[in-house]
């Protein structure tokens, strides 16, 4: 069986004046929707909070992933889960008690993940691999869509997979930032399970066609790549 690579469109570069249309355009090609939550402190940008997540929850039945780029995480995770988040990732370095937060996210009914910024050494994730469901390998500096993927970071995907295997566990690895048709094969060939694609879909003049193209490329790439 070919390995199915999941597509998670990030709405950061979508037309926020018509999120319904934007999400419906990508829905049938997607496995989940990636929501970038920024507080203007952890990253130099502000996006949206639980109120908007709750509104998006009404638009689609796809799982919603909140990628939290915020501080004060223990105060906020429950609000995001109540708003409809199915998966929550947060950044190592934004939190004092990462293990406690991972356990809280799971206890309140969501799937926990950790995100690693390019400036954070990848080994800092090691001790959490047995207790998270997924790891977000960021290939851009968190804060903005539309940046170029940093190619040197990509080898983190296979490194995390190997480390998890050596610890007797498996973890889903998601690549976030700078993914586009030109580098998709390279991203998938690292063993990536989920790709986040933002501007390459939502800054396109035909959002649906862009999502369809990425979905087809993922299916093609998966059929020629080994089971990881």
Query: Residues with catalytic annotation?
Result: 36, 176
d(CA 34, CA 43): 17
DSSP conformational letter for 226:
-
How many angstroms separate the CA atoms of 16 and 202, rounded?
Answer: 11
198 binds, among ligand DX5, Zn ion, none (CB under 5 to 8 A by kind): ligand DX5
Under rule CB under 6 A, how many of the chain's residues touch ligand DX5? Answer: 21
| Tokens standing for residue 74 | 């223990």
Tokens in use for 47?
Answer: 């996006």
Block residue for tokens 């939502």: 202
176 is a site residue for Zn ion (CB under 5 A):
yes
Among 36, 65, 174, 193, binds Zn ion (CB under 5 A): 36
Position among 19, 31, 39, 147 found at the interface with ligand DX5 (CB under 6 A): 147
Give the interface segment with Zn ion, choosing from 63-71, 72-80, 146-154, 181-189 (CB under 5 A).
Answer: 63-71
Segment 27 to 56, residues that bind ligand DX5, using CB under 6 A:
34, 36
Residue 142 touches ligand DX5, criterion: CB under 6 A:
yes
Between CA 116 and CA 69, with CA 86 as vertex, the angle to 5 degrees is: 35
Interaction between residue 176 and ligand DX5 (CB under 6 A): yes
HEC profile of 65-96: EEEEECCCHHHHHHHHHHHCCCEEEEECCCCC
Positions touching Zn ion (CB under 5 A) are 36, 67, 176
Positions touching ligand DX5 (CB under 6 A) are 10, 12-13, 34, 36, 67, 140, 142-143, 145-147, 176-179, 196-200
């Amino acid at each position: 069986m070919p390995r199915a690579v999941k597509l998670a469109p990030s709405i950061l570069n979508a037309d926020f004046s018509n999120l319904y249309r934007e999400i419906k355009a990508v829905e049938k090609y997607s496995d989940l929707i990636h929501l970038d939550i920024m507080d203007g402190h952890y990253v130099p940008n502000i996006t949206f909070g639980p109120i908007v997540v709750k509104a998006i929850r009404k638009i689609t039945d796809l799982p919603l992933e909140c990628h939290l780029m915020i501080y004060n995480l223990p105060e906020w995770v429950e609000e995001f889960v109540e708003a409809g988040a199915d998966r929550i990732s947060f950044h190592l370095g934004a939190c004092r008690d990462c293990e406690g937060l991972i356990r809280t996210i799971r206890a309140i009914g969501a799937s926990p993940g950790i995100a690693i910024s390019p400036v954070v050494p990848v080994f800092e994730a090691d001790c959490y691999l047995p207790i998270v469901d997924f790891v977000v390998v960021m290939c851009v500096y968190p804060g903005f869509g539309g940046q170029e993927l940093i190619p040197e970071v990509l080898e983190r995907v296979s490194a995390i997979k190997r480390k998890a295997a050596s610890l007797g566990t498996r973890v889903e690895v998601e690549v976030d930032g700078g993914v586009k048709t030109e580098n998709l094969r390279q991203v998938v060939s690292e063993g990536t399970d989920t790709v986040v694609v933002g501007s390459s879909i939502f800054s396109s003049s035909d959002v649906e066609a862009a999502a369809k193209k990425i979905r087809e490329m993922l299916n093609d790439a998966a059929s020629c790549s080994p089971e990881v």
